[in-house]
Chains A and B, each alone.
Chain A
Amino acid sequence: MTAEAIEVGREDRRHTATPRWLRSTAYWAYQYKRTWRGSLTTSFLYPVLYLAAIGLALGSLIDKHVGSVGGVHYLDFLAPGMLAATAMQVGGNEAMYPVMGAIKWLRTYFAMLATPLTVLDVLLGHLTWIALRLSMVSAIYLAVMAVFGTVHSLLAIMALPAAVLTGLAFSAPIAAFAATQTNDTGFSLIYRLGMIPLFLFSGTFFPISQLPGWLQVIARFTPLYHGVALCRGLVLDRLQLWPDLAHGAYLLALAVLGIGIALRTYRRRLIT
């Protein structure tokens, strides 16, 4: 390095003060620049396809034969549930392969840890990025929902943070798990035994009152059930203070607990 370059740096070194964890978020944003077109197209197509095929087509059959589901048209019932389920999928996906890659393949976390960033910065920065991704996906979903005419109240805007929280309730514990894995076989277990059953049985497609009693009890303990219920209450403007506070508190607790565990598993894996 030449003397001039060094001089330029010393003068400006302390001018900006970005929190350290946000600097690691910047990395993920940088990475995303390569793939944002495809990613955003998918985020747009996914709700269009689901809401058209299941919400409109299947929904018209259901409406004709059943009358209504949960007191509303099937499309109105389905859309907020799908919003939460999509947040679960995005939140889960973003905490699986990207986390493993940052440890094993690209070793990005190790590059960061050679700089002023700490394990906490690396973890919070990544989760912040996931929260941003969840915001993008949920905002697009809500926009598509509006076009399909399923947004009836201004309160629906609050479904965006609710969906982000739903996603993070999955991201944080899954990131904690991913940091303990040496290969990706555990991820397919999460899909098969976790995310797919939740997707189908947590009240996204039908009220859980349709389930046998014992399954209803199990369903009430799953995080997606709470995410679906919260998003649905907000979009349909049918909030009930205590149940909905409980949904939010459950999701928040899961996210915070996940962060706590992830901090441990990250430290164990990254600091030797």
Chain B
Amino acid sequence: MNARHDEPLVSARGLTKHFGSAVAVDGVDFEIARGEAYGFLGPNGAGKTSTMRMIACMSPLSGGSLSVLGLDPASHGPEIRSRIGLVPQEDTLDLELTVLDNLLIYGRYFDLPRKVIRERAEKLLEFTQLTDRARDKVEPLSGGMKRRLTIARSLVSDPELLILDEPTTGLDPQARHLVWDRLYRLKQQGVTLIVTTHYMDEAEQLCDRLAVMDRGRFAAEGSPRDLISRYATREVLELRFGDDEPADVVGQLDGLVERTEALPDRLLLYTDDGDETLAQVHRLGMAHESALVRRSTLEDVFLHLTGRTLVD
């Protein structure tokens, strides 16, 4: 093992990626420790995928420096890639081969002995609940199964670092749950995870630390709890109105809470005590269709930092 255990597994300084004149990643700094689960959050086009592809040594840097497993991707790409697993945003499975064959051939790229590949493939199919489909072609499998197979495939090489770009996008809730549960188990086993996702609640549960990306930069970085306490209040009061636009009624609530956010369909009031704020709203005699008091989430952090909701 080349990287010492106290060294960060991934370390970026001023990491930059251009596509022609477009700037996808605009000079970001971060360090990811061994065993950590690190998440990139952000809307489409924020630069998450470009960042992931650079870490996976599939895309050269336009500027800055990057070290993965203590090595330079520009000179040690094959060596780094032999020790990491990648789940790309779009599946690159061979649809015409069987589930098992997809794992067997992938293991060959890493030059693993056939016996080892076969043993691992069996365990991984079990791990991703695909054992029953081992001899079936990939083409007719559901989206969730294909995604699980891609994850199983990325684990054939027994990677120290697993990079997952939107592992659950487009899956139904049940399939999503299964994927996140498996990622959680991998984390327990000490695999370092780097994940991008649109699903805040899941990121909150899995990730030790998160980077919120917006327009190629880090808007904030920290643990989920840390981000919420820094950028949101303890609770949120959500008000919905029948006919009025939320933006039109904001004026009536001046001074009631520190911060409000008017979304097209509802008004968010950031407060430390939602019930108390709701009582105050009632006292003001403000008409609303419904009210909901809830805990602040990463979604609120994101809204605050970027002025946008995550899933449009």
Q: Are A and B co-members of a single complex? A: yes
Which A positions have Cβ atoms within 8 angstroms of B? 1-3, 5-6, 8-10, 12-13, 15-18, 20, 23-24, 26-27, 30-31, 34, 106-108, 110-118, 271-272
Q: Which residues of B contact A10 (CB under 8 A)?
A: 158
A-B contact pairs, 23 of them (CB 8 A): A1-B120, A1-B124, A1-B127, A1-B158, A2-B123, A5-B120, A6-B158, A8-B119, A10-B158, A16-B113, A18-B108, A20-B111, A26-B105, A27-B109, A30-B105, A111-B106, A112-B109, A113-B58, A114-B81, A115-B109, A115-B157, A116-B81, A118-B77
* Cβ–Cβ contact B157 & A110, under 8 A: no
B95 in the interface (beta carbon within 8 A): yes
Q: Which residues of A contact B79 (CB under 8 A)?
A: 116
B310 in the interface (beta carbon within 8 A): no
> In the assembly, what is the distance between CA of A27 and CA of B78, in Å?
18
Selected from B108, B110, B119, the residue in CB contact (under 8 A) with A27 is B108
> In the assembly, what is the distance between CA of A9 and CA of B110, in Å?
11
> In the assembly, what is the distance between CA of A23 and CA of B120, in Å?
19
In the complex, which residues 77-130 of chain B have their Cβ closer than 8 Å to any Cβ of chain A?
A: 77-79, 81-82, 86, 88, 90, 92-97, 101, 104-106, 108-113, 115-116, 119-120, 123-124, 127
* Cβ–Cβ contact A8 & B111, under 8 A: no
What's the A-B contact tally at a CB cutoff of 8 Å? Answer: 99
* Cβ–Cβ contact B108 & A23, under 8 A: yes
Which of B93, B105, B109: most chain A Cβ within 10 A?
A: B109
B189 in the interface (beta carbon within 8 A): yes
Given contacts A106-B95, A111-B106, A114-B86, contact A9 B116 (CB under 8 A): yes
Which B positions have Cβ atoms within 8 angstroms of A? 19, 56, 58-60, 77-79, 81-82, 86, 88, 90, 92-97, 101, 104-106, 108-113, 115-116, 119-120, 123-124, 127, 155, 157-158, 186, 189
Q: Which residues of A contact B155 (CB under 8 A)?
A: 1
Q: Which residues of B contact A108 (CB under 8 A)?
A: 92, 94
The residue on B at minimum CB distance from A6 is: B158
* Cβ–Cβ contact B88 & A110, under 8 A: yes
Q: Which residues of B contact A16 (CB under 8 A)?
A: 111, 113
* Cβ–Cβ contact A12 & B59, under 8 A: no
> In the assembly, what is the distance between CA of A67 and CA of B35, in Å?
82
Given contacts A5-B158, A8-B119, contact A34 B96 (CB under 8 A): yes
* Cβ–Cβ contact B97 & A115, under 8 A: no
* Cβ–Cβ contact A12 & B90, under 8 A: no
Q: Which residues of B contact A31 (CB under 8 A)?
A: 94, 96-97
